[in-house]
């Protein structure tokens, strides 16, 4: 990963934002603590822009990143105890030294990681997995290729930044030098105004946002042409997309919601629909470089270059089997062309 190349255009509510200047301020604050460059920083910012500043600054450095989601750091297991926590209070970014440095238990997974994320916890307590720089590179290249991103695009990311899918989109922006925009509010009109002003070409959002957006379009049809004519792809991730709604969207908007599938353990994206790779009722095909198969009991199995091998924790529970396959816990099938159809949890 080239961590020295920085030339990202960032828009907040359609207004260009000097991310580099804010990043330099934060980096100076970090260096005041006498850091060496290999410390683990937890990000626990409530405001999206502060989260983005922190992530941007740490990503383009040798520091490691831990994404916190409303978790008390004291309760974190001993392999992911952060050396510092970046928070925001009254819109100001603050850095707190934890004193955990000597308490943390080093491991191979931690030593080679760049970003640590939590799992969804859908099958039990949330666990921690490590994403390596190599895995992030793979995800950025494969996902960009499927979604046909270029540096002529501007990505509107309309979802909480701490989610695994949103992080993968931010990583793509960094990797490919693609402009990125976001809105300080997820209200439809705010998002529309932000996208128009920043000349966004694609939107990535949770299913819930698209439901509220379509309702808004029904009652404000004048917004349809001005806004939607500029958006070439409507991408959906981060939660389950109701297929009845997907069909309603397609009927009204004349363009599909491009659904996908992933999980934190896989780095995170596994399968994604793309402008040239789409079929209603599916989550698309596996990304290039990702293998999928269905087990005898109907479970989706996954293998790719970005899968974490073990959870970070005292027991170091393995994520993959002896052949490198990750058991997703989801029931699925493959149609005759390799599109993945999900049926729910196993």
pLDDT score, position 162: 87
Read off the pLDDT band of 260 (50, 70, 90).
Answer: very high
> What is the Cα–Cα distance from 196 to 201, expressed in whole angstroms?
9
State whether residue 261 is helix, strand or coil.
Answer: strand
- The tokens 């128009």 sit on which residue? 196
Q: What percent of the chain is predicted at pLDDT more than 70? A: 90
Task: Return the CATH class of domain 1-284.
Answer: alpha beta
pLDDT score, position 76: 56
Average pLDDT over residues 84-88: 93
pLDDT score, position 265: 94
pLDDT score, position 3: 47
Selection from 183, 202, 334 nearest residue 270 by Cα: 334
- Give whole-number Cα distances, 184 to 48, 59, 163, 194, 228, in Å: 7, 22, 16, 9, 20
Average pLDDT over residues 238-266: 94
Burial label for 31, CB within 10 Å (0-12, 13-18, 19+), is exposed
Q: What percent of the chain is predicted at pLDDT more than 90? A: 70
Indicate the length of the chain as a whole number. 346
Average pLDDT over residues 116-134: 80
Read off the pLDDT band of 2 (50, 70, 90).
Answer: very low
Per-domain boundaries in the chain: 1-284
Selection from 196, 216, 195 nearest residue 204 by Cα: 195
pLDDT digits (tens, 9 = 90+) for 152-198: 999 999 999 989 999 999 999 999 999 999 999 999 999 999 999 99
State whether residue 283 is helix, strand or coil.
Answer: coil
State whether residue 310 is helix, strand or coil.
Answer: strand
Read off the pLDDT band of 316 (50, 70, 90).
Answer: low
**What stretch of H or E contains 260?**
strand 260-262
Contact 290, 304 (CB under 8 A): yes
pLDDT digits (tens, 9 = 90+) for 96-119: 998 765 455 556 667 788 999 988
Whether the per-residue pLDDT at 128 is higher than 80: the answer is yes
Please state the pTM of the whole predicted model.
0.91
């Amino acid at each position: 990963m080239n961590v020295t190349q920085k030339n990202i255009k960032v828009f907040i509510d359609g207004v260009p934002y000097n991310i580099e200047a804010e990043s330099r301020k934060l980096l100076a604050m970090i260096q005041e603590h006498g850091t060496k460059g290999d410390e683990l920083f937890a990000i626990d910012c409530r405001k999206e822009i502060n989260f983005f500043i922190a992530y941007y600054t740490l990503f383009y450095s040798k520091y490691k990143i831990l994404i916190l989601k409303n978790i008390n750091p004291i309760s974190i297991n001993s392999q992911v105890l952060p050396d510092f926590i970046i928070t925001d209070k009254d819109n100001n970014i603050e850095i707190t030294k934890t004193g955990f440095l000597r308490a943390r238990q080093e491991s191979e997974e931690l030593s080679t990681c760049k970003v640590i994320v939590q799992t969804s916890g859908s099958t039990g307590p949330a666990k921690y997995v490590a994403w390596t720089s190599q895995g992030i590179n793979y995800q950025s290249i494969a996902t960009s290729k499927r979604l046909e991103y270029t540096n002529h695009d501007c990505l509107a990311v309309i979802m909480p930044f701490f989610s695994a899918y949103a992080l993968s989109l931010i990583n793509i922006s960094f990797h490919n030098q693609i402009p990125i925009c976001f809105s300080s509010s997820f209200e439809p009109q705010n998002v529309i105004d932000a996208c128009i002003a920043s000349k966004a070409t694609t939107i990535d959002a949770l299913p819930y946002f698209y439901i509220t957006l379509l309702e808004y379009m029904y009652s404000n049809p004048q917004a349809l042409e001005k806004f939607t004519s500029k958006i070439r792809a409507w991408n959906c991730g981060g939660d389950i997309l109701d297929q009845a709604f997907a069909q309603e969207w397609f009927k009204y908007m004349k363009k599909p919601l491009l659904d996908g599938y992933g999980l934190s353990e896989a780095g995170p994206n596994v399968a994604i629909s793309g402008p040239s790779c789409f079929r209603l009722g599916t989550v698309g095909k596996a990304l290039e470089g990702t293998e999928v198969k269905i087990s005898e009991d109907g479970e989706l199995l996954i293998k790719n270059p970005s899968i974490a091998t073990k959870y970070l924790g005292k027991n170091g529970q393995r994520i993959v089997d002896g052949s490198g396959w990750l058991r997703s816990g989801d029931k699925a099938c493959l149609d005759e062309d390799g599109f993945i159809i999900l049926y729910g949890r196993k």
